[in-house]
Amino acid sequence: MQRTRWIGAGLLASALALTSCTTGPAGADAKQDSKAELELWTRTTPGGPGEKATLRLVEGFEKATGFKVKVTAIFDDFETKLQQRAAQRNLPDIVMNDVTQLGAMHSQGLLREIDLSRIEHSGDLVQQGRDSGKGVDGKQYGIPYSAQAGALLIRKDWREKLKLEPPRNWDEFAAMADAFTTGDPDGNGKRDTYGLAAPLSTKRGYASWYFSNFLWAAGGDFITATGKGTYKPAMTGAKSVEAVRWFRALGCGRKAVQPGAVTMDTPPTNETFESGRAGMYVVGPYLMSRFDKSLGKDKYEVVPMPKGPEDATVLAEGGTLYLMAGSENRAGQDAFAGYTISAEGQRLGMRGEDGSSVQLPVNKTVDVTEVRPDPRWKTYAEAYRTSGRYAPSIPNWTPVRQATAETLNALMADCSLDAGEKLRELDEKLAGILREQGIAG
């Protein structure tokens, strides 16, 4: 028998403008059955490592609790298929998706509010991870289950050849970028190496995504909160301008960023680093296995990001559990969330030769080296816990990221442009985006 699930009236037109049939919050009137099988959707390739890792996690949950879960892996058109199910008033019970989807899913009325007092082990969550699950109204709508954050990859053999130490601040970072660009670190007698690999394409906002590691370390911001749930543009602030000018100088002045960076997303930038064209790369832990094979584990090292003018804040991202509105088994939803963030669930999620559902643990009682003894994982885990910062969960982060990517891309592509003027134009665009989303303050 098909179960009916109702969702709230906040669903957007993209989900066929479904109106609420409940008398309270989304799904509040759904008849409860704690023995009902839970339907879980995970955004990953069917049959791939991600699905296998999710199935292992679910198996552990079922053995520990007695609840039953059906897993569906979807990668292509995930959001479209989810909205189709929303229009049918038949949402899955649980969705495992990127943290950046929280704002959109909340604004569409797809999520139920989460009472953390009913979620076991929620008190063990890393603070910024727990906070990443809050909407603009300050209420909890998601629970992190996996995290990642940036660290600095350095060609160790180049650094040692040029007798340099890992950079501790931006001055030393720039000096290393210069040395890798002009000092012939690969010893081939040619000037064909560069200091930094950077994906600065406008595609999917990559330039903004990458630059956030530097913007936040300078104390700048894309947008800043002005009150409960309201924001204002911040790219013309003094610290944001300082970050843009400093980063731009790496490419325009020092010529230390790889040629063609403004047309590159991550795949060609990965190749730039592993092929020996660039000596530094800010990236998450997911590329270590690739670079260990293609470049050689002994050729590069993972170190914390150097401290910027403000601190060493880096972009934090990851997977979030969403407990969907209208479920007839809210007890099962809560139990799955609690198991997934438990020490047992986190360790199980990190295991797997063919892939894992957890990159970095979000449970502060779990040491990543218990499962992965490689000390480089500890470097990443410490970067996340001490310096990781998530993008704000506004209704739609994508246009903010895209607008800032287009401006940064233009400034890196054309060194004659006036940075101040372009940033003023950007803040005007951001102001319009915030007004459109009803969160301008």
Q: What is the pLDDT of residue 258?
A: 98
Q: Domain limits of the chain?
A: 13-148+317-389, 151-315+394-436
Q: What is the pLDDT of residue 151?
A: 98
Q: What is the pLDDT of residue 7?
A: 38
Q: Are the CB atoms for 149 and 126 separated by under 8 Å?
A: no
Mapped onto helix, strand or coil, the DSSP state of residue 363 is strand
Q: Would you state the CATH architecture of domain 13-148+317-389? A: 3-Layer(aba) Sandwich (3.40)
Q: Which CATH code for domain 151-315+394-436?
A: 3.40.190.10
d(CA 404, CA 233): 11
Per-residue pLDDT of the chain (441 residues; tens, 9 = 90+): 333 333 333 444 334 333 333 323 344 568 999 999 999 999 999 999 999 999 999 999 999 999 999 999 999 999 999 999 999 999 999 999 999 999 999 999 999 999 999 999 999 999 999 999 999 999 999 999 999 999 999 999 999 999 999 999 999 999 999 999 999 999 999 999 999 999 999 999 999 999 999 999 999 999 999 988 999 999 999 999 999 999 999 999 999 999 999 999 999 999 999 999 999 999 999 999 999 999 999 999 999 999 999 999 999 999 999 999 999 999 999 999 999 999 999 999 999 877 899 999 999 999 999 999 999 999 999 999 999 999 999 999 999 999 999 999 999 999 999 999 999 999 999 999 999 999 999
Q: What is the pLDDT of residue 352?
A: 82
Spacing of C-alpha 175 from chain mean position = 29
Q: Considering only CA atoms, which of 86, 89, 35, 101 is closest in space to residue 62?
A: 35
Query: Which helix (H) or strand (E) element contains residue 279?
Result: strand 278-283
For the residues of 124-182, what is the DSSP string, one character each? GB-HHHHHTTB-TTS-B--EEEEEEE-EEEEEHHHHHHTT-PPP-BHHHHHHHHHHHHH
